[in-house]
Chain A
Amino acid sequence: MSLLAVEHVDTGYGPVAVNRDVSLAVGQNDEIVTILGPNGAGKTTLLRSIAGLVKPRRGTVTFDGRDVTVLHADEKAALGVVMVPEGRHVFADMSVRENLLLGAYCRKDRDAIEADIALMENYFTILAKKRGAKAGTLSGGQQQMLAIARGLMARPRILLLDEPSLGLSPLLVSELQGIIIDVREKFHAAVLLVEQNAGLALSVAEEGYLMNSGRIVASGSIDELKQSSVMQELYLGKRAQQNHGASPASL
């Protein structure tokens, strides 16, 4: 059984349909799964519907064997499905420490929360230096670190990361790579990573889904995905070639 299963989900805003018949799964063993795709492919909307900010129009979202399709975002967060939104969205007028505390809003174990703040400050050292600073005064990269740390403060079972590399310098992107792997290694959460930066996504994830125009167009292990003709077409601009020998499993 998967930790998170999305089955035949349609999403949209008003008259605009975004996702159509999307199915995906994240396994039990703290997998890192990525959803790749060009701008406007519907990745963020899909993630928002998994997190509970958008209600799916059709289909189901199952988390840990429980149907969570219609739950609100705060209820899903309490279950351990925590999304780090695109563009960071830190609480700009509040201090770094307050942002971290808010990440732990659902938790009642006060001592453990303090211990986790220390853990975050130890891991993201910049947060210790900026503890009392307003989050809005941090640089873009620092805000991204804070947003991820805030998400981890909830002790999530799965962290949904929406375009974490957006606006980061190449140096920070390579740092992010290590952080995403550590989400699993050190903080024991699965990761569902939405990215436009295919290099980053392919280097950390084990499984991947390729999305275009609101649909999943390819999926499989990262190696399978790299070989797929759709992937090559979308990302490398190559025409699909005669060689279909390495087509992905569920294309």
Chain B
Amino acid sequence: MTEVQPSKEVAEYTEVHRHPEPKSFLWKYIFSVDHKVIGIQYMLLAVVAVFVGMALSLLVRLRLVCPECSYPLLGQFFPVGAPEGVMTPEFYLAMLTMHGTVMVFMVLTTAPQGGFGNYFLPIQIGAADMAFPRLNMLSFWTTFVSFLLLMAAFVVEGGAPMSGWTGYPPLSAVPEATVQGIGQDLWLASIAVFCIASLLGALNFIVTTLDLRAKGLTMMRMPLTCWTWFVTAILGLLAFGVLLAAGVLLLMDRNVGTSFFVPAGLVVSDKVIDHSGGSPILWQHLFWFFGHPEVYIAILPGMGVTSHVLSTFARKTVFGYRAMVYAITAIGGLGFVVWGHHMFVSGMSPYSAFVFSVLTMCIGVPSAIKTFNWIGTMWGGKIRFTSPMLYSIGFVSLFVSGGLSGIFLGQPTVDLYFHDTYFVVAHFHLIMGVAAIFGMFAGMTFWFPKMFGRMMNEPLSKIHFWITFVGVYAIFGPMHYLGMLPHPRRYAEITSVDYLGATGAAELHMFITVAAVLTVLAQFIFLYNFVKSIFAGKECREENPWEATTLEWAIPSPPPHDNFAGKVPHVYRGAYDFSLRGAKRDFAMQCNDDKAVFGEPAPQASGD
């Protein structure tokens, strides 16, 4: 790597931020302030959470195909929710609610940003750590507390809440309306704590990106991963504050007698509820003001990883880098002004639907730019089918499929039919669920050698890719057809609606459940590969096994405590200089100056 003498300010900064490597286990691995350790902590939390979330989804799937089936083991754990092992409808709804909450908050929000972003943002911009290392540690442990609060909801009296991951009042606000009690409070407390953690994290990401970039690393030279983490952090900063407020207000409605979301005159089971003056629709506005940006919080980092990986393994620079940056920011910005499309049939003023609809359709434009540019990036390239490349190509396919169904739902006229049907379930699972998770698979397999100095087993990763890619389409493709019937969401069984029985919903459900079981089983291949490779994967001490261009590939694997070993990297070029004409190799690292790239003898020998 080419080195330069750091300026006085940089030297001072580096000195201030250099913290000695802790020696004790507690401070090195538990309460670490090292962004790399914290990143891995976030990833491990997400791995635990994703298996919890998948287990919940399996319970949901099992009840849908056989409401009366008994699972004795389940009855042992949940004697109330599943007496003698038979899941009650309220237990079904509780599992559904917790599945959504765990997946959205503890998986889709933690791993892409808190995990990969934490680990690689500082390294990719040439910094020794995040701007506020202690705040970073605090973010993770606050998130962890939030996770514990959420899990506690399973074991308290009444069990987990059943009002859906969107927690619409009055169902969530009036204890008399459901069978659960404190579970809903724990759920709200968990969300509120999570919001605080995410706000802290978002601040850290923004400051780090703006202030700690290496010399020469202009914004327009940043890897697209950094752009997506940066924009995601801005979204988080603006969105989580609103959800925090909403969550606290709802908690107060439940516990101290306020009426923010509960109107007067409610009668639940012949009992008059003592509230007045609130509006259930207010919650929906606040929730979706957070909820829609949340979709992009989940998927933007996956887009960044996909751009990064496609370029690396097509050996070609990102097609239309500038357009990609504009698209990322446009998606982020538009994401804040479309929340009303979740509320077309909520009873809000029908006149606002037009604005929300047009703005929603506008998001299709930067999304289309990204898709075309991904294909454009591979066009004319020399593709290497490594496992991260396969996952990224899978991401593009899933993004297209999941994105286009949004065009139906974004029009109020068509949404009149599809709202709250399985069509919606298919749509958001494809795009914010599995597409985002494919981004994580790509990131994990791509950066694994850097993080652990070992490779993941490539054949196993590829087998996992093939099963999962076909599997998720087999699960979520048919849900569109359920939506056509139209099968409403969140139905514990289909026995009570005549037309569902007559139109083949049961067969589709059976198909989906079989596909889901197989796909979930395949995830153990990945888990096994992940865990085994950490300890016994093929050793890979090479700095740059993928022949990639960005700064993380210019330092040892795994990176030393302060990333660049006290040296300050200098950046000479954009992030994706592949296949430059006249260059010695088919890639030019960001820290290589022209002489190093084009072969004239460099004045000083460089380490790279």
Say whether A associates with B.
no
Residues of B within 8 A of A (CB): none
